[in-house]
Structure 1
Amino acid sequence: MKKERINDNWLFWKDGHETEKQLINIPHDAMQTEERVPDLPNGNATGFYPGGKYIYTKNLFGAEALREKSVSVEFEGVYMNSKVFLNEEELGGWIYGYTNFYVDLTDRLKIGEDNELKVIVDNSETPNSRWYSGSGIYRSVNLWTGEKHHIKPEGIKIKTVSINPAEVEVSIEAEKTEDMTILCEVLKDGKIVASFAGEYSTVQIPNGKLWDTEHPELYTLRAVLKNGDGIVDEAQTRFGIRMITWGAGKGFQINGNTVKLRGGCVHHDHGPLGACAYDKAEYRRVKKLKEAGFNAVRYSHNPAGKNFLDVCDELGMYVLDETFDQWELSQSPYDYSQYFAKEWKKDVTALVSKDYNHPCVVMYCIGNEITDTGLPSGAEISRMLNEAFHQLDSTRPTTIAVNSMLSVLAAKQAEKRKAGEKNVGSEDVNDILTLLPKIMASITPENLETLIGECISYVDIPGYNYGHNLYEGTHKLAPKRLILSTETFPKTMDTNWTAVEQNDYVIGDFMWTAWDYLGEAGVGQPVYGTTQAPFSKDYPCLTAACGSFDLTGFPESQAYYSAVMWGAYDKPYIGVRPVNHSGEEYTLGRWRLTDSLNCWTWPGQEGREAEIEVYSIGDSVELFRDGQSMGRKPLEAYKCDFHTAYRPGVLEAVCYDSDGKEIARDSLVTAGEETRLTILKEDDVIRADGEDLAYVTVHVTDEKGNLKMMTNRKISVTVEGPGRLLAVGSGNPETEEKFTDGVYTSWHGRVIAIIRSEKEAGRIKVTASAEGMESVSAEIMSGRVI
C-alpha cells in the first residue's frame, strides 16, 4: 500500500473554544498552548502544564482513484483517550497515548467530495502521568491507500535465524486470493542480493553484513503482490541481520559478541518543542548521545515512536523499548492503571508489531517501578505479559525495571488494607521517592527475593532501579540470572560502571538521565544555602534539571564524565563549580552528578575560592593556571579536584599515563570585556518538505567567540523566507518564559531557535537581537525534495 504523511493543514481548537480555531501542522502538542498553572495539583510532575480536551479536523478529498480502494489512517501517537471520526461517524481511536494505531476508512469516503476527518483528544483528567506527557497528535499521521487485495501495513515480519551463514525468516500477511502470488527481493544499497517467492520463506543473504551499533548495516525487503503478470500491491521494509543471545557466563550478546550497554534513559519530549516528535529532533538527539559514548537508550517509560527507532537503526543505537509505568495499581490519580486490565494486550501487540523489524530494539521492558510487583497479583501479571511478548516475538529478551522500595511499600500497604486501615496508598509515587535512599539501604537481597522472586522469574533479564547494592547478594541467590541496571543515580556512576565491567552477569547501566526533560520539576536542580531540598520544586520550575544533556541538547559536565569513563573522550575536561556560590552550603539532588561548568569566566568573583574538577583518561592530571603548575594529582574514578582563588586568565589541564608521558591537554580561557551575540547554525541545508528542522544557537560571547556563561540576555529571534519559527528556548530549569513567544532569556550564555521548513524552496534568514547589542543573522538553504 502507498503510505503518505498527511501532517499539514489541520484545524485545531480546545473544546469549548470553537471560535479560536487555528490552522496547524502535525506534530502538534496542545499542552504547549496552555498557560502554566502555579497551583496545579501535582503540577511539578508536568512542569505545571494542565491538560485539556482538544479537537483536530482535516479535509480528505475523496478522489475518484480511491473508489473501491482500501484506505486507512495511521496515528503514530495521540495523547490520550482519542476518538476518530469520518464525516461525524466514529470509526476508531485509542486510549493509551503512546501506541500507534490504525483506523479503517475503506468504503466510507465520499467520492468526489471533501470528507472531514476529526480527532477528539481527551487529556482533561489530570494528573495522569509522572512526567510531562504533552497532549494531542504529537506524532505523525499517515494515509495508507491501495487495492482491496494488499500487503497489510506492518504485514512483513523478518527474523534473523542465522548469522553464519546470514539467514532470515520472512513472513508476509496479505489480503489476497489463493491464486495471487508474492515475490520478494532483498536489496543492499539499492542492489538486489537475494530473491524468493511466497508468504513464508527462509532466505540466505550472500556475504551478509551484520547489524550492530558499530556497523549499522541495513537491508531493504521489497515484496510485490501479483495477480498473474499484473502487480496488485507493493510494500517494503528495512531490516538488519542481527541475533541476540544471552545467558549465564556469557552475558548479553549481539551476533555472538558480548556487549555491555552504556545506557541512558530518555523521556519522549523535546524540550522547547514539547512532545512534538519531528524526525530531525529524534535524529539530533540520538546523534549527540552516540557521539557522547552512549550505545543504548532506555525509552522511559512508554513505547518509542517509529521515527526514533528509524534513527537508531540508521545511526546504530541499542534500544530498550518500554510498555507501561503502571499495571493495576496507580502511580498517579488518573493514570493508565484504570484501563490496564482491558487494554494491555492491545498495546503489547501493537508495540511488538511496530518494533519487530527494527534491529535497534534489543529488549522489551514490561513495566517501570511497578508497585504491583510486591503483591501476588503482580507475579501473575508478569507471567501474562511475558507470555504475550514471547508468543509475539521469540527473538528478544524481556526485562522489568524494579524499584524494590516501591515493591516493599506496596506489600506493606496491602498488609495495612488487610488489617482494615483507611487512606492507604494515596500518596503520589514521586513524593514517596524522597524516601528512596533510606529505604533502599534497609532492603536485603534475601527479603527482596522472597517478595518479588516469582514476579521477576518470568522475565529473561531482571532490571533494577537504584539497586546496585543488591547485585552481589542477588547473584549468590540466583547465580544463573543476568542483571540489568535499568536506572541509576549519576552520583554513583563510577561504581555502577565498575559493577558492569567486573561482573559478566551485570550487562549494562542506564543512568537517569541522558537528556533533561520537562516535568518532575527540579529533581536535579542545585539548591544553594541549604543541604536540604524537597524531591521536586515549586513553580516556576519547569524541567527536571538532571540530564547529561540539557533541555536544548548542550552537554553538561556529567556527559563528559561518562564519556571519559567509557573511553569516548580522549582529553581532559575541566569543570568549575559556580564561583558565585563558593563556600555556600548546597544540595544537588540525587539525580545530578555535579553543578560544575566548563567555564573560567566569573565576573565580579575575583579572589573567591574556585573548586575545579578535572575528568580524564590516564593516570594523573596536572593543572596549570596562567602557565604556573598547581600540582599533579592522581586520578581516582576518572577525577581529581583542585582549589585556587579565581582570577581571569587561562586554566590548562594535562593528563599523563602511568609512565608520566603526556596523553592530551585542554584549556579554559576567560572571555574578554566586549559582549556580543554570536549565531551558529547546525545545518547549512534542510529539506523543503514542510517538516524538516533547522537548529540555530545564539551565544553571548566576547569578540573572539568565547562563551560568557554568566552573562545572559533576553534574545529575540525572527525568521524570514520559507521557514517558520517553532520555538526559542534555553536549558534554564526555572522560568516563566514560553517557548512559543520568539523571545527567551539565555541560560549559561545560550538560547536555541528551532525553525521548520515550508514546502517552498529558498533561503531562510534567522536573525537574533538583544537590547543594546548588534543583531546577528544566519542563512539556511531550504532545498526541494527530489
Structure 2
Amino acid sequence: MKHTNLFKLIFFFVCVITSGSVWAQRSEQLLEKGWRFTKGDVKGAETPGFDDSEWEAVTIPHDWAIFGPFDRSHDLQNVAVTQNFETEASVKTGRTGGLPYVGVGWYRTTFHAPAGKQITLMFDGAMSEARIYVNGKEIGFWPWGYNSFYFDVTPYVNKDGQANTLAVRLENRPQSSRWYPGAGLYRNVHVIATDDIHVPVWGTKLTTPHVSVDYASVKLLTTVANADNKDVRIVTEIVSPEGKIVAAKDNTRKITNGMSFEQNFLVNSPMLWSPESPSLYKAVSKVYADNRLVDEYTTRFGIRSLEFVADKGFFLNGKHRKFQGVCNHHDLGPLGAAINVSALRHQLILLKDMGCDAIRTGHTMPAPELVELCDEMGIMLMVESFDEWDIAKCENGYHRFFNEWAEKDIVNMVRHYRNNPSVVMWSIGNEVPTQWKPEGCKVAAFLQEICHREDSTRPVTCGMDQVLSVLDNGFAALLDVPGFNYRTHLYTEAYNRLPQNIVLGSETASTVSSRGVYKFPVVKRHTAMYDDHQSTGYDLEYCSWSNVPDEDFALADDYPWTIGQFVWTGFDYLGEPSPYDTDAWPSHSSLFGIIDLASLPKDRYYLYRSIWNKQSPTLYILPHWTWHGREGKNTPVFVYTSYPEAELFVNGKSYGRQCKLTVEESRALQGKDSLWLQRRYRLMWTDVVYEPGEVRVVAYDEAGKAVAEQTVRTAGKPHHIELSTPHHTLNADGKELAYVTLRIVDKDGNLCPTDGRLVNFRVKGAGTYRASANGDPTCLDLFHLPRMHVFNGMLTVILQAGEEAGTLELQATAKGVKSGSIRINVKPVK
C-alpha cells in the first residue's frame, strides 16, 4: 500500500512539472489500481486514518461475488413471478445465479488532485446503493447500481497536494434482483480535473437536423459551467473519420442564465453511420474565457437519420430495414459483471457474424464501453432504464427509490448517451406491473416526456407483456413506438388498434436450449423439463409465455408494419434458469441464449445466421452423430442454411432433396404438419434412422448447382485435447483477453460430443489465467479456478495479457487423453 501511494505521489509531481498545460485545462485519471476491498459492514472505514492493510488488494472494475462459491442458499427466494403468470409463491433457487452477491462491501483508495482545479468524481456504475466518501465526509448517494453518476468533490479535497482518501460503501439487499446483478465497483471510476469555467460531464448535445448524401447539418449545444455574464469564445472543428477538418466555427457570445452555446455546421458529402459502415466524426471544441483557454472538450458522433413511419416501418438514412436484434444482460458469463472491453468486443464480433445489427440492454443502463464499441462496430442500441417502476417485482427492488430517483436516473442515462449514433431508441421500462394499473399511463407519460425533453431525436418505447391490457387502457397508444414482449398472436390486433400503426418485437422467442443436448422424440412444445435440467438443441422448446424463432421470422417477413425484433437473449446469463426456475438446483443460469455462458454458439446461432447474415453463407447440420443405444432409432436431422435447397446423405444413402417452402406452401400444411411454419426456415429430415458413420449435406443454389457441403461423423475414442483461438496476438495492457476453445476429440479430430471429463489448466509466460466456463447451466465448477469439466466435449478458457511483452502459453491436461497447448503473442502497447 505504501509503494502504491508513493507511486501515485511521484506520478502527480511528474504531471505537474512536465504537463502543466494539461492541468491548465482538463485531465482525467482512471482509478484502477491501488484499491482495497472487504466484504461486510465496517465501522469507520470512511475515515482517512483507517487501517485497511488487512483488506484484499483489488483492481477496479471488480465483482466480489463472481468468485463464489455457488450455493443453493444464496438469495433463496419464495416468490410468485407475476410476469410469468404465477399466482402462488414457490421456492426459487438459482434465480440470481446462486452466487453470494448479497451484503455490504467497502472499497478504499487514494488519489491526488491538482491545486486550484474543480474536481469531479464519476462512477460508471456501482452495485449498489452507493455511498461515496472523500476524506471522511459523505459527498453523495446513488441507489441504482446500473447508472452512471458523478459528484463535484472540490470542497472536500485537500488543497495542499496531499493524497485524498476515497471510500465507497455498497450494499446489495436480498431479493433485490431477478437475475445476477453482480456486486461491487464493477465499472470504472474517474477523477476529472477542470478549470472553474469548463464543459461539465455530458455537457454537449449534438444533433444532425438534416442528413442527405450531399450534405448534413450539425447542431452543437455546449454547456459552459460558471460562465454566467462572461463573454465566452468557442472554437470548434468537425473532424472526419479520416482525420480531416471538414467544418469549423469560431464564435464569441455572452453566457446568461445558464444558456447553452449554440454552433451550427455543414458537412459536405458526409460519411453516414450505419451498421454496415459505422463512420464516426468528432467535434473538438476549445473554450476561451477572460482571453485564455480554459477547456477542450471532444464530442464523438455519427451522421445518420432515423425515421419510424406508420404502416411502413423503420428507416435508417432513408433506407428501410428491420431490427435483427438481441437482448443482453450485462454480465460477461464467467467474468461476472466486471466490465472488460476485450470481452465485450468478443461478444459483439460473434453477434455481428450471426447477422445481428441491434442490442437491447435488458433491462438496465449499459456500461459506456458497450455503447462506444457499438458506435465503432456498427450495432444499433435500444438503451433501457428500469425493470421496476413504482410497483414491486422484487421485495427490495428499484420501486423503493422510483418516486425520488426516476427522473434523475433517466436524465443521466439520456445525457450520457444522446450523442452516440448507435443509440436509436430509449426504453423506459420492461414488463412493469404499472402497465395495467390506472396510473400506468400517467407514469409512462412522465418518463417519456423526460426523454423527449433531454433528447428530441429518438423515439421512446417500453417492453410490454400485458398486450390486451395496454391496448385497452391507452398505455401502448401513448408511446412513440409500441414494444411487445412475445404475444405474437396479438400483433395484428395491436397494429389495427394502435395509432402508431407499427409494432416492435421488443422481446422475442425465449426459446430454450442447451448446447449439444438433444431430446427425443423431436416435437415442438413448451415448458418441457427433464431430469438432467437441460433443454433440447433442436430449437423447438420454449416457455409457456413465449415461442420458437420461426414465428418472429414470419412476422418480420410477412408484414411491412413490423419493425423487427430483439431476441431474448443473445447470450446465456447468470440467473433465471428457465424453465428450471423453481426449486431445481443446481440450475443457476439461463437457457435462453443463442450463445452459451462460455461464448460457444448453440445450434440456434446458425438458424439466426442463415436468415440474418446476408454477406456470408451458412450451412450447418444438427444433431451430432455419436450415439450409443440409438442404433436403428429415428433420429431427425435438421439443416440450417442460407441456401434454398439441400440433399442429405447418411453413409452415402440419400434421404432426398429438400427446399424451403414458400408462405403459401407452408400454410397449406397447417393442421397437417406440426412443423409447417418451420419448413419456411429450416430443412428437416424427420425420418432418418441412426447408424454410426457419416452424415453429409450438399447445398444447392437457385440454379440447382451444388455449391457447398458439410459433414458430421461419428466420433471414435477420445484421444487428445484440441485448443484454438481467434486471438493470436494480445496487447500487453494487463486487460486484453484471449478466448480459447477447448475440444476433446478423437484421433481424427472429430469432436467427442458427450465427453464430460475434468480438465486442468496451467498458464505461464506473459499473462495469467482469468476464467473458464463450459456452458452447462447446472455446473457448479468455480470459474476462477484453473480447472473445469467439459460439457458435451467443449469448454472455453479465458487468458489475460500481462503488462510485459512476451509469449503466453496455456497447457491443458486431463486423464485418458493427450494434453494440448497453445501459445499467444503478447506485444508491447504502442
TM-score bracket for this pair, using the shorter chain length: 0.7 to 0.9
Distance 2:161 2:209 in 1: 49
Instruction: Spell out, residue by residue over 1:570-628, the C-alpha distance to the aligned partner (whole angstroms, 9 max, x if none).
Output: 2432111xxxxxxxxxxxxxxxxxxxxxx223356544432211122344331011222
C-alpha contact (below 8 Å) 1:187/1:221 kept by paired residues: yes
Instruction: Give the superposition deviation at 1:401.
Output: 0.7
C-alpha contact (below 8 Å) 1:27/1:137 kept by paired residues: yes
Worse overlay, 172-181 or 287-296: 172-181
Match of 2:371 in 1: 309
C-alpha contact (below 8 Å) 1:686/1:692 kept by paired residues: yes
Q: CA RMSD in A?
A: 2.1
Distance 1:106 1:26 in 2: 23
Distance 1:501 1:2 in 2: 51
Q: For 1:192, which of 217, 236, 245 is the aligned residue?
A: 245
Distance 2:646 2:181 in 1: 44
Structure 1 position 762 matched with structure 2 position 806: yes
Secondary structure of residue in 2 paired with 1:154: coil
* Distance 1:686-1:602 versus aligned 2 partners, 3 A rule: same
Q: For 1:71, which of 119, 140, 149 is the aligned residue?
A: 119
Match of 1:372 in 2: 434
Instruction: Give the superposition deviation at 1:727.
Output: 1.1
Q: For 2:601, which of 555, 561, 565 is the aligned residue?
A: 555
Match of 2:234 in 1: 182
Instruction: Give the superposition deviation at 1:222.
Output: 1.1
Q: For 1:572, which of 616, 619, 622 is the aligned residue?
A: 619
Structure 1 position 119 matched with structure 2 position 162: no
Distance 2:166 2:131 in 1: 11
Distance 2:138 2:818 in 1: 55
Which amino acid in structure 2 is aligned with residue 115 of structure 1? N
Instruction: Give the superposition deviation at 1:332.
Output: 1.4
Worse overlay, 353-362 or 250-259: 250-259
Distance 1:676 1:152 in 2: 58
C-alpha contact (below 8 Å) 2:128/2:145 kept by paired residues: yes
Instruction: Spell out, residue by residue over 1:170-189, the C-alpha distance to the aligned partner (whole angstroms, 9 max, x if none).
Output: 01112354234221111122
Which amino acid in structure 2 is aligned with residue 727 of structure 1? A
Which amino acid in structure 2 is aligned with residue 662 of structure 1? A
Instruction: Give the superposition deviation at 1:296.
Output: 1.1
Match of 1:9 in 2: 34
After TM superposition, list the pairs within 5 Å mapping 1:612-627 onto structure 2. 612-627=637-652
* Distance 1:575-1:391 versus aligned 2 partners, 3 A rule: same
Gaps of 5+ in 1: 406-444, 524-533, 577-598
Distance 2:743 2:317 in 1: 44
Which amino acid in structure 1 is aligned with residue 569 of structure 2? T
Structure 1 position 260 matched with structure 2 position 339: no
C-alpha contact (below 8 Å) 1:571/1:655 kept by paired residues: no
TM-score, reference length from structure 2: 0.82
Q: For 2:745, which of 695, 701, 706 is the aligned residue?
A: 701
Gaps of 5+ in 2: 1-25, 43-51, 78-91, 252-260, 512-546, 661-678
Instruction: Give the superposition deviation at 1:231.
Output: 2.9
After TM superposition, list the pairs within 5 Å mapping 1:440-451 onto structure 2. 449-450=471-472
Match of 1:44 in 2: 94
C-alpha contact (below 8 Å) 1:131/1:520 kept by paired residues: yes
Distance 1:191 1:480 in 2: 41
After TM superposition, list the pairs within 5 Å mapping 1:135-284 onto structure 2. 135-164=183-212, 165-175=215-225, 177=227, 178-188=230-240, 189-198=242-251, 199-227=261-289, 230-284=292-346
After TM superposition, list the pairs within 5 Å mapping 1:378-389 onto structure 2. 378-389=440-451
Match of 1:419 in 2: none
* Distance 1:214-1:658 versus aligned 2 partners, 3 A rule: closer
Secondary structure of residue in 1 paired with 2:57: strand
Instruction: Spell out, residue by residue over 1:67-109, the C-alpha distance to the aligned partner (whole angstroms, 9 max, x if none).
Output: 1112222111111101111122111231001101112222422
Worse overlay, 654-663 or 26-35: 654-663
Secondary structure of residue in 1 paired with 2:392: coil
Instruction: Spell out, residue by residue over 1:206-249, the C-alpha distance to the aligned partner (whole angstroms, 9 max, x if none).
Output: 22111011111111111112347643221212110011111213
Secondary structure of residue in 1 paired with 2:548: helix
Instruction: Figure out how many residues of one structure are paired with residues of the other and give that number.
Output: 709
* Distance 1:242-1:232 versus aligned 2 partners, 3 A rule: same
After TM superposition, list the pairs within 5 Å mapping 1:140-539 onto structure 2. 140-164=188-212, 165-175=215-225, 177=227, 178-188=230-240, 189-198=242-251, 199-227=261-289, 230-404=292-466, 449-450=471-472, 452-453=473-474, 455-478=475-498, 480-489=500-509, 490=511, 491-523=547-579, 535-536=581-582, 538-539=584-585
Structure 1 position 53 matched with structure 2 position 103: yes
TM-score, reference length from structure 1: 0.86
Which amino acid in structure 2 is aligned with residue 304 of structure 1? P
Match of 2:46 in 1: none
Distance 2:572 2:111 in 1: 42
Distance 1:704 1:236 in 2: 55
C-alpha contact (below 8 Å) 1:571/1:664 kept by paired residues: no
Instruction: Spell out, residue by residue over 1:402-440, the C-alpha distance to the aligned partner (whole angstroms, 9 max, x if none).
Output: 1117xxxxxxxxxxxxxxxxxxxxxxxxxxxxxxxxxxx
Instruction: Give the superposition deviation at 1:16.
Output: 5.0
Worse overlay, 615-624 or 88-97: 615-624
Which amino acid in structure 2 is aligned with residue 485 of structure 1? G
* Distance 1:690-1:657 versus aligned 2 partners, 3 A rule: closer
C-alpha contact (below 8 Å) 1:461/1:481 kept by paired residues: no
Structure 1 position 100 matched with structure 2 position 122: no
C-alpha contact (below 8 Å) 1:245/1:252 kept by paired residues: yes
Match of 2:255 in 1: none
Distance 1:712 1:763 in 2: 30
C-alpha contact (below 8 Å) 2:764/2:810 kept by paired residues: yes
C-alpha contact (below 8 Å) 1:50/1:126 kept by paired residues: no
Instruction: Give the superposition deviation at 1:288.
Output: 0.8
Distance 1:85 1:702 in 2: 58
Distance 1:296 1:514 in 2: 10
Match of 1:438 in 2: none
Distance 2:653 2:556 in 1: 39
Instruction: Give the superposition deviation at 1:61.
Output: 4.0
* Distance 1:193-1:658 versus aligned 2 partners, 3 A rule: closer
Instruction: Give the superposition deviation at 1:448.
Output: 5.1
Instruction: Give the superposition deviation at 1:631.
Output: 1.8
C-alpha contact (below 8 Å) 2:115/2:161 kept by paired residues: no
Distance 1:400 1:376 in 2: 17
Distance 1:377 1:553 in 2: 42
Match of 1:592 in 2: none
Which amino acid in structure 2 is aligned with residue 370 of structure 1? V
Q: For 1:654, which of 698, 710, 716 is the aligned residue?
A: 698
Worse overlay, 18-27 or 356-365: 18-27
Secondary structure of residue in 2 paired with 1:449: helix
Which amino acid in structure 1 is aligned with residue 35 of structure 2? W
Distance 1:707 1:546 in 2: 24
Which amino acid in structure 2 is aligned with residue 641 of structure 1? M
Instruction: Spell out, residue by residue over 1:112-149, the C-alpha distance to the aligned partner (whole angstroms, 9 max, x if none).
Output: 433221111100x2111111111111111122122222
* Distance 1:616-1:228 versus aligned 2 partners, 3 A rule: same
Instruction: Give the superposition deviation at 1:567.
Output: 4.7
C-alpha contact (below 8 Å) 1:73/1:144 kept by paired residues: yes
Structure 1 position 132 matched with structure 2 position 157: no
Instruction: Spell out, residue by residue over 1:1-56, the C-alpha distance to the aligned partner (whole angstroms, 9 max, x if none).
Output: 32232212211110158786211111111121443331422443202223333434
C-alpha contact (below 8 Å) 2:355/2:612 kept by paired residues: yes
Which amino acid in structure 2 is aligned with residue 31 of structure 1? A
Match of 1:544 in 2: 590
Distance 2:58 2:754 in 1: 37
Distance 2:175 2:100 in 1: 8
Secondary structure of residue in 1 paired with 2:784: helix
* Distance 1:34-1:724 versus aligned 2 partners, 3 A rule: same
